[in-house]
Structure 1
């Protein structure tokens, strides 16, 4: 796979848009490497599953908490420089996890990797927000979502297969190798004008956090991360607890990524004709149905359908919320976008931490039923809030 990566990189990373997709791919590939390994790592290190879920939760939490910090720093350091150097540093931390022989070492190395990899995606979103027109912005962000979907599918499938056939450490090694190779091509990403280090930080931060529109969007992002990413974290473990090996469980879960890939293309084509509020509602219904199916059965056909529906939910609902984050406060876009991304992954970390005890006792039905409720609440609140915001901020012409 690494040889194929070296062959494809020079052709793929030929434009800034492609380079942003590459950075997002590498970051998300590492983010989804660990869930298929949870049971194998716990068995290999001779510790309860809750401890390994805890290590993953800390990764997710750091991945989320660091995003607002990178959002404030990236315009000062330089968006391109932030993406390039953080990708390299995160890859080296991922490499350190290969030699972890205890939970503490694993947790620290993964936390450092999450801290650095967390810079790439919000920086890519800010970059798109600064360089694209409002009419093209949703499509550009959908392209980033395509890279994210591909990374999710491949990371889940490949790391699960490596765990089943050669060992979980190879998954971290592969993530590190891809990141190190990619960082060289990210050096060609065009740098945007930097903000002076003397520019105020506190005033823009207060402006963002005091905005009622931003507060509502961050609450929606928290629910989004807890419901969809939280569910996705536990699907491989649920399938393994039902008797399937890691390769099969991760292969089924990878259906989610391919569904996002197909859904993102569809959303991109329809984005200029359908209101964002309708995408949010449709996505929440799809996600709620997926979690409801998983709460009743973990048979393989049911899991395939559920993962497919979760992917459609992410492509439809999350891309709409994400685009909203680039629009809600244009004058403070870097901070608003990074707080959105940070809250999203904080929701994922919270769901992982709260779901750990249920997973330890194989109570996956109750776990996924919670996700059903969260998605229904998210759909209703998100649709109504988006419609109200559109009526105040866009004319009928702008929404087309």
Structure 2
């Protein structure tokens, strides 16, 4: 108990505003590229499919870095990883503005994704270290709100900036944000007891592996297919600026869903929250699968955001609970699986998107989301029976 109190005091030396800004920044960069895919392909030597592959490669290397960042965080501490990743992310973002050819841009975006991959899991780990139960769930919901604001601004601004100014500005802004984040952390002290050594084996228990498999599928549906909302709107005849605004229905869904989640978490068990959020995910794909249109794509974006706030935040809480003795490594593997799934989904559907078959893409999403609901709720219910005190 005394150690936990010491840890809470130490963490409070890290400004809340700095942590919120890092959450904002990580999602601004993650979602800044999809709304400008068309403008990026027009302003460079890239085809549209190659521009999509930049997003997929970013997500892949974001995922690949997760086990590495988790082990380093458990070994050297949370703030050490946070600062190192911000430096690397800033350098990667600067490199991204220097090239117009496919291969160097692919390398630059892959490096940037690898570095930005450390930010959000580290914030999740800090919440897992310092909060429990309802307090932790609400902290994760609050973090999602700030992250969704990053998603909103990126969705609104990046397409317009790339179209009417220069696509390089979309990569320059995160570079400046990394400098600002490092400055905000200049006086922060490393939380006590955040170094616990290598814990890889503890993060590979059978139930952990089941969780990673579930979130791989969730990542493909929730994040991989979200990439196509703005391009689908443009394909249906919506102007780039309006497409970005309609795409922000995702962020509205996250914000409203997170507010609802704060009320539900004290009244409803996590298994039910995962199931309810999963049904929202099914509802997200339903209109665009059967009646593709600007209105249905906007509804898809909104319900994807709500599913993110309810289902995915519940999955995040599960990840922070499942192996307290290897929390950073477990969370990082969880995020690895999430973004690996997102990357796989984007790669596998890039040709369909190239040909404008967005209704077919969202139809596949609907079928797989029904499978996800059944598997995720059943597995979590089993884990709860095995660990009733968790």
How would you bin the TM-score normalised by the shorter chain?
Answer: over 0.9
SS of the residue 2:186 aligns to: helix
Task: Give the total of aligned pairs.
Answer: 379
Answering whether residue 241 of structure 2 is matched by residue 242 of structure 1, we say no
Aligned ranges 1:105-144 → 2 under 5 Å:
105-144=104-143
Cα shift at 1:44: 2.1
Counterpart Cα distance in 2 of 1:30 and 1:47: 20
Structure 2 unaligned blocks of 5 or more: 1-11
Please, which of 354, 358, 369 is the counterpart of residue 363 of structure 2? 369
Aligned ranges 1:296-307 → 2 under 5 Å:
296-307=290-301
Match of 1:253 in 2: 247
Structure 1 unaligned blocks of 5 or more: 1-12
Q: Is the 8 A contact 1:253 1:307 kept in 2?
A: yes
Match of 1:5 in 2: none
Cα shift at 1:195: 6.5
Deviation >4 Å, runs of 4+: 194-197
- CA RMSD between the two structures: 1.9
Distance 1:394 1:177, change over 3 A: same
Answering whether residue 205 of structure 2 is matched by residue 206 of structure 1, we say no
Counterpart Cα distance in 2 of 1:34 and 1:335: 28
Match of 1:10 in 2: none
Counterpart Cα distance in 2 of 1:190 and 1:27: 21
Match of 1:271 in 2: 265
Match of 2:191 in 1: 192
Counterpart Cα distance in 2 of 1:88 and 1:266: 36
Q: Is the 8 A contact 1:84 1:187 kept in 2?
A: no
Please, which of 276, 284, 293 is the counterpart of residue 278 of structure 2? 284
Counterpart Cα distance in 2 of 1:195 and 1:83: 13
Moved more, 258-267 or 287-296: 287-296
Aligned ranges 1:387-398 → 2 under 5 Å:
387-395=381-389
Q: Is the 8 A contact 1:87 1:116 kept in 2?
A: yes
Counterpart Cα distance in 1 of 2:284 and 2:194: 44
Match of 2:69 in 1: 70
Deviations 1:187-240 (A, max 9, x none): 33331236669x4x3xx312322x111011101110110001011111111111
Q: Is the 8 A contact 1:239 1:298 kept in 2?
A: no
Counterpart Cα distance in 1 of 2:35 and 2:97: 15
TM-score, normalising length from structure 1?
A: 0.90
Deviations 1:12-66 (A, max 9, x none): x996443222212111111111101112212222332221212221111000110
Counterpart Cα distance in 2 of 1:181 and 1:371: 38
TM-score, normalising length from structure 2?
A: 0.92
Deviations 1:105-163 (A, max 9, x none): 21111111111111111111111111113341111111111111111111111112212
Distance 1:285 1:339, change over 3 A: same
Answering whether residue 220 of structure 2 is matched by residue 226 of structure 1, we say yes
